[in-house]
Structure 1
Amino acid sequence: MEGTAAPNWHESITELWANAKGRDPDEVLAEIEKLVAGHERDPLAAFELAGAYDYAGQEARAEAPYRRALSGGLDPEHHQQAVIQLASTLRNLGRATEAADLLWAELDSTLVEPYAAAARAFLALTLLDLGEERRAAVVALEGLRDSLTTYAGPVGRYLDDVTSSDLDDEEEEEPPHVFNG
């Protein structure tokens, strides 16, 4: 077509993801592998490939491209997505402690919505895997509190009560990591 430029590989992947629901995950993966071929040094291509491996249930293959993407320098939005997705992958691979460490570090950095809420949700799930139900509840409630338009004040005060009593109960242990953001 005259005057119409062919979409670049990333636009094609964005469109593919938008229409992936209900499609065979292995077909989606194969298409993404084709689209990123020749772009192996691009951190965004590594991120997309890792996501496709996850989508196809091949978490063990997803870890390395997520790490390449993160070390290659993604823009802030994709960086946050990659950390959350890598942590989810590690959790699925039975490495919940490593996943929790990644998510704690990300939550201590500057997260923007919707990624802060997503990171908290995945961290709560990971803490449940680690048998830390109370910490999981606090993390989940902090995320919920931040999205409340009504009752945010009372929920925040109740959370302060819960977390301060947790600190009193665990004076001799290392205090739980609690964020107030």
Structure 2
Amino acid sequence: MKQTNLQRAIALRERGEPEAAKRVLEQLVEEEPGNAEAWYQLAWVHDVMELEREAVPHYERALRCGLAGDDRAGALLGLGSTLRTLGRYEQSLDLFDEAVREYPGRREFQTFRAMTLHNLNRHAEAMAILLSQLAETSGDSGIAAYGKAIGFYADKLDRARGASPEEAAGTLTVRPGVQEELRVAEKRTMNLPKPEAAASADESGCVRDRLIAYNASRLPEAYRGRYEEINLVQRDADGRIIGGVLSVYCWNWFEVDILWVDDAYRGRGAGSALLEAAEREARMRGCAFVKLNTFSFQAPAFYARHGYAELAVIEDAPAGHRHYYFIKKLQHEGDNRS
């Protein structure tokens, strides 16, 4: 009977019903706390529901309970990938190192290990792994024709053959006169008053108002006054706020500043509902696009699934993490949809 419940939970997950699968599995592990496969499937379901932090202890429990075979390999991969998603890069790398030693013939571990190396700014190592994987596994005729060359250069990308020592070291050549220009610029700033902390909110407002006035003088009349803060919240049956989105409408765009959902409601569509509501507000105002930013330990994958394109990434912001900037161009009624 318990095996039947496990199979039923897997079927529910595969049918796109992770919440139902989660309920079955939670009951199963309560009844059989030593069931390694049930813990593994429970971790998997949490990952599907974007509950990565909650997934980690379930993966770890499955491995401690003696998970074996393909399921053990799957749990190691899932745990390593989830740790990477959470920004716990060193732990992810340690786990993938262990997995590569245990499963030397399984290329998926090397591939995911390369992703973690990239997050740790060990780009050359990551590229070497991926190029080697490509050269050894690709069925593409063009890549196969150059497979030996790709494999040869995989770990030599930073080695410039025939370059002078200065070229290889990337020595900067300063054009004539630039040092003198820098000295003149420095002298011009010597007599300026030093910046100091604003004494009051009025002084801060003065700076803001001056910039707003400057911007208005450079923009079409139609854009003037186009600034509005738009904040939306979600409440449960008791009126408690369980989610919200804080946004700004400015000129011809809409910016999502903060989107938050209570942990108890994550993975249930609350975040999607908030984002879609914000996009409706943007369309109502004729905005051309929505922009936002998020961190690697927050929800970059969530925004990508909702059609947002990665615009820029700042590495190590904060240290060990990435700061993403996304944009989504909006369609309006009457737009061409060829």
Give the TM-score normalised by the residue count of structure 2.
0.41
1:126 paired residue number: 116
State the alpha-carbon separation in 2 of the partners of residues 51 and 18 from structure 1: 11
Q: Are 2:42 and 1:49 equivalent residues in the alignment?
A: yes
State the alpha-carbon separation in 2 of the partners of residues 161 and 7 from structure 1: 50
- Give the C-alpha shift of residue 101 in structure 1: 1.7
2:14 paired residue number: 18
Q: Which has the higher helix share?
A: 1
State the alpha-carbon separation in 2 of the partners of residues 45 and 133 from structure 1: 37
1:154 paired residue number: 146
1:8 paired residue number: 4
Kept in 1, the 8 Å contact 2:125–2:155? The answer is: no
Q: Which has the higher strand share?
A: 2
Deviations, residues 77-114 of structure 1 (Å, cap 9, x unaligned): 011110010011111222111101211221233355xx
Task: Give 3-state SS (helix, strand or coil) of 1:14's partner.
Answer: helix
Corresponding pairs, count: 157
- Give the C-alpha shift of residue 65 in structure 1: 1.6
Kept in 2, the 8 Å contact 1:43–1:70? The answer is: yes
Q: Are 2:136 and 1:143 equivalent residues in the alignment?
A: no
Considering only CA atoms, is the larger Rg found in Structure 1 or Structure 2?
A: 2
**Structure 1: stretches of 5+ with no match in the other structure:** 168-181
Kept in 2, the 8 Å contact 1:120–1:139? The answer is: yes
Q: Are 2:25 and 1:32 equivalent residues in the alignment?
A: yes
Higher relative contact order (CA 8 A, sep 6+): 1
Q: Percent identity?
A: 24
- Give the partner amino acid of 1:69: A
**Structure 2: stretches of 5+ with no match in the other structure:** 160-338
The change in CA–CA distance for 1:131 and 1:141 in structure 2 (over 3 A counts) is: same
1:62 paired residue number: 55
Give the TM-score normalised by the residue count of structure 1.
0.72
2:86 paired residue number: 93
State the alpha-carbon separation in 2 of the partners of residues 123 and 133 from structure 1: 12
- Give the C-alpha shift of residue 51 in structure 1: 1.1
State the alpha-carbon separation in 1 of the partners of residues 87 and 57 from structure 2: 16
Alignment of 1:64-83 (within 5 A): 64-83=57-76
